Amino acid sequence: MSDSDDAGDSEAELEGNIYSDVLTKLRSLQDGSEKDEYSRTVLSDGAKSMRELIELIEEHKDNTMSQETAVSIENGFTAFIQVLNNIGMNELFKKDSSIAYEIFYSYINLLNLTGMKTYLKRLDTQVYVKILYDQFATVILYVITLAASYSKLTIADLKEPLDNQELLLLMLKFMKADLESDSVSTYSSVTHSILSFLWSYADKTVVIPNLIKTGYPEAVLKWLSVSNR
């Protein structure tokens, strides 16, 4: 084996170690019970681990992510998704709207991270990172869609930093790239997830001003006029 091969192997091993701790945390969430408190812990700790993972990816964005590392991250994240599918979020949130409210903001704030904003802006990024962010965005949107349905949002949620107007605007622009493109015949899964979230969010009448201020009524009217042609 050449010196360059040795260097490559060492670099790959180091790259894997960067994420090993946080992936271990995600996998460890599989070990628990079906009690409500465990479900809350899964959601809370999952948000913390996702934040750590996204920040690590962003910190090392100047290094090209290898396929091996991407697969390792994907496998660890898939283990977390399986736990989410088994904890019964609907039942948890229905029993306690305060938990739904807490989890709503824990997850929507993940979209405020630099890496996720870069993704929502559709800026160029390394191919494996984009694939991972596709998955992260889908899961985040799934959780906040359910949480929003049971959260008791109030007039306080119209004020910064709870208004999320920057994120709502980024979501709108993300969807426009699909919904207003002549070259796109099918929409991304993330666009579908954003639409599901907005349906849930808009059902809370008190926060509709946030949607109005970010231009959603005009956009929806435009999309409807296009679809009717």
Query: 44 and 63: one domain?
Result: yes
Query: 29 and 95: one domain?
Result: yes
Q: List, as one string, the DSSP characters of 144-165.
A: HHHHHHH----GGGGSTTTT-H
Residue 9 has pLDDT above 50, yes or no: no
pLDDT digits (tens, 9 = 90+) for 31-40: 665 667 889 9
Query: 180 and 128: one domain?
Result: no
Residue 175 has pLDDT above 70, yes or no: yes
Query: 125 and 166: one domain?
Result: no
Query: 142 and 162: one domain?
Result: no
Query: 168 and 144: one domain?
Result: no
Q: Give pLDDT, residue 116.
A: 97
Virtual torsion, Cα 169, 176, 60, 134, nearest 10 deg: 110
**pTM of this prediction?**
0.89
Q: How far is CA 191 from the centre of its chain?
A: 12
Query: 163 and 128: one domain?
Result: no
Query: 142 and 170: one domain?
Result: no
| Look-up of token digits 């802006």 | 121
Q: Give pLDDT, residue 12.
A: 47
Domain tally, the chain: 2
pLDDT digits (tens, 9 = 90+) for 79-95: 999 999 989 899 999 99
Residue 30 has pLDDT above 90, yes or no: no
Domain span at residue 29 reads 1-152
End residue of a domain, out of 121, 152, 183? 152
**Which of 226, 225, 109 has the alpha carbon at shortest distance from 167?**
109
End residue of a domain, out of 93, 117, 152? 152
Query: 5 and 90: one domain?
Result: yes
Query: 102 and 48: one domain?
Result: yes
End residue of a domain, out of 122, 152, 182? 152
Query: 120 and 192: one domain?
Result: no
H or E element: which one contains 69?
Answer: helix 67-86
CB 147, CB 101: distance < 8 Å: yes
Q: Among residues of the chain, what percentage have pLDDT more than 90?
A: 71
Query: Burial code of 176-204, b = ≥16 C-beta within 10 A, e = fewer?
Result: eebbeeeeeeeebebbebbbebbebbeeb
Query: 118 and 223: one domain?
Result: no
Q: Give pLDDT, residue 33.
A: 56
Residue 11 has pLDDT above 50, yes or no: no
Angle at 80 between CA 76 and CA 84, to 5 degrees: 165
